[in-house]
A and B are shown apart, each in its own frame.
Chain A
Amino acid sequence: MKVDIEYLEKLSKLKIDDEKKEKFEQDFEKILAFVDDITKLELPEEDKSRAVALSQLREDEFTQKDKVDVLSCAPKKKDGCYLTPLVVE
């Protein structure tokens, strides 16, 4: 199967180096050929039993006692917020 690598790059917010692109595409097609048999199987409906039942959810109350500094590893931060380039001028 021919794959639109540019489209997948866009979806993935990734860029594959130009010199690696050809090999990447070939490998990708080999992988898809390898998993492709699954598309031909006739299978019963999916089981949703693993999904968490509403009755299993905890009470909606604040439980975390330890304060965690989520910004501690941010590359750029200011006044307790993540800092990014301007989105709106």
Chain B
Amino acid sequence: MKFEELSLQELVEGITSQKFLSESVVKYFIEQCEKHSDLNAIIEVFDDAIAKAKALDEKIARCEKVGKLAGVPVAIKDIIACKGKKMTCASKFMKDYESPYSATIIKKLEAEDAIIFARTNMDEFAMGSSCENSCYGACKNSHDQTRVSGGSSGGSAVAVASGLCPVAIGTDTGGSVRQPSSFNGVVGIKPTYGSVSRFGIVAFASSTDQAGPITKTIEDNEFILSILAGKDANDGTSIENDFISSPTKEKYTIGICKQLTEKIKQLDTYPQFESAIHAFEKMGYDIVEVDVPHIADCLACYYILTPAEATSNLARFDGVKYTIRSEEAKSLEEVYVKSRSEGFGEEVKRRIMLGNFVLSSGYFDAYYKKAKKLQTLLKQEFAEAFKHCDTIITPTTPGEAFEIGGKIKDPVAMYLEDLFTVPASIAGIPALSIPYAKGKTGLPLGLQLMGAQKSEKTLYDIAKKFKQGGAQ
């Protein structure tokens, strides 16, 4: 049986009704991971996964109550702590790190009897848009191995798209779930900020980091998010988001952001985006133009705020607390400088230094403080825009997945990849990417649906109806 063709509900039903064993499902996906190791999506398959699946099968055979994800194998990004397992953030700095505790989301998945079975490739410390900044080497696109997977959660998106797992968890700070989902033709969401606990997830930029599921279908995605979401005493910024019980509507109003129109029209993929708008029109939805006056400034805002936070968050990697210490270090100062210089990759160094620049005396007001003010304004502008529409749609990315090596030497070109994804991160609103068309070279394109705070249900509902309404 091709287990990757089943929905999560079908997998759980099959396992709990003993039509097939969790052990068989887990073994099947491990085989797929081995067969497609050339994609470089999976860093490690956990050696206790089959034993855990067997234990669950026995529990089912004894007619004991099991959870909503009974026996389903889940792959996690290499930045999420799982007790007793290695977690490296795809960095040389963390190469031998073993998590002494589990992230809240891991506990939630395990409480529903999911089998955490593998960790996935990513850009080092989640900094990147191509999954090329990894100490394990680049992860390749599931549709064309000469192209990037997208990033930073590239391994998670490729693993789902290539049938190496039925669901993977990624994290999204400025598009790191949505962009690779778009590049690989799968579904990914960045939830409302705070909806999913950050406890046990290595921090990149604490004010925008959010974990989100990557799945093949919209239904599966909604199902997993409903398990991950919820307030957590261990994360002071977490919130209650019972999106699943929000009401839905027959017809929705689709917003197009006026200030992005020109940029979108210049894209090669504009015809595809235009046909998506027509599809919504055919469904009888109203299409309205809305204003988010400062949306185009989001990218600059993002590349000031997130390096500033990364600088503080990555100060803990000092050669004293985590795994690696430079062999050459003689003094404490050398322990810090040599360990960090040897351990961090180029992009991480760049962002730490950029963060220190915008926080340094003489530049703090002009850059960091200005960006914080802009963030406030953007939240207000989005809140105002959502009084006139249920969602604002954009392409998830400016184009199809680009070639491996194509942008890695030009950081600004790489940062421009995040043009459409960072606004939702800055504003803390949910944004869903769904596959909707193919580009010129036949690679998948994603449509992004942004919504007001806690409007995940609306986004999922619009996306489902859009798919039923005849989109590709």
Which residues of A does B touch, CB under 8 Å?
3, 5, 7-9, 11-16, 20, 24, 27-28, 30-32, 34-39, 41, 43-47, 50, 52, 56, 58, 63, 66, 68-70, 72-76, 82, 84-85, 87
Contacts and interface: CB of A to CB of B under 8 A. Distances in A.
Contacts of B294: 41
Nearest to B337: A13
A13 B353 contact: no
B58 interface: no
A14 B323 contact: no
7 contacts: A27-B410, A31-B415, A35-B304, A38-B300, A38-B367, A73-B96, A74-B320
A15 B101 contact: no
B354 A14 contact: no
Contacts of A72: 98, 100
Interface of B: 96-98, 100-101, 207, 233, 236-237, 294, 297, 299-301, 303-304, 311, 318-325, 329-338, 340-341, 344, 346, 349-350, 352-354, 356-357, 360, 366-367, 369-377, 379, 410-412, 415
Contact of A12 (B236, B356, B377, B410): B356
Contact of A82 (B321, B334, B366): B321
A9 B300 CA distance: 23
Contacts of B415: 31, 34
Contacts of A11: 353, 356, 360
A44 B373 contact: yes
A77 B338 CA distance: 19
Contacts of A85: 329-332, 334-335
A9 B353 contact: yes
A35 B367 contact: yes
A40 B358 CA distance: 15
Contact of B373 (A13, A15, A45, A87): A45
Contacts of B324: 75
A39 B367 contact: yes
Main secondary structure of the interface of B (DSSP, over half): helix
B320 A75 contact: yes
Nearest to B304: A35
B376 A14 contact: no
A74 B321 contact: yes
Contact of B297 (A7, A28, A41, A44): A41
Contacts of A56: 236
A30 B416 CA distance: 13
B300 A84 contact: no
Nearest to B323: A73
Nearest to B326: A75
A50 B335 CA distance: 36
Contact of B370 (A8, A24, A43, A58): A43
A58 B233 contact: yes
Nearest to B321: A74
A51 B325 CA distance: 36
A14 B353 contact: yes
A31 B411 contact: yes
Contact of A34 (B236, B333, B412): B412
A75 B356 CA distance: 26
B372 A46 contact: yes
A13 B325 contact: no
Given A27-B410, A68-B100, A70-B100, 12 more contacts: A3-B357, A13-B336, A24-B350, A32-B357, A44-B376, A46-B372, A46-B375, A58-B233, A73-B98, A82-B320, A84-B332, A85-B331
A69 B96 CA distance: 15
Contacts of B323: 73, 75
B373 A43 contact: yes
A66 B100 CA distance: 10
Contact of B412 (A30, A38, A39, A73): A30
A76 to B, nearest CB: 7
Contacts of B340: 12-14
Top 8 closest pairs, chain A to chain B, by CB: A47-B376, A75-B325, A35-B300, A43-B373, A11-B356, A15-B341, A13-B336, A8-B353
B374 A43 contact: yes
Contacts of B319: 75
A66 B107 CA distance: 13
Nearest to B96: A73
Nearest to A3: B357
A30 B357 contact: no
Contact of B411 (A3, A27, A76): A27
B301 A14 contact: no
A33 to B, nearest CB: 8
Nearest to B354: A31
B274 to A, nearest CB: 29
Contacts of B338: 15
Nearest to B373: A43
A24 B356 CA distance: 15
A66 B412 contact: no
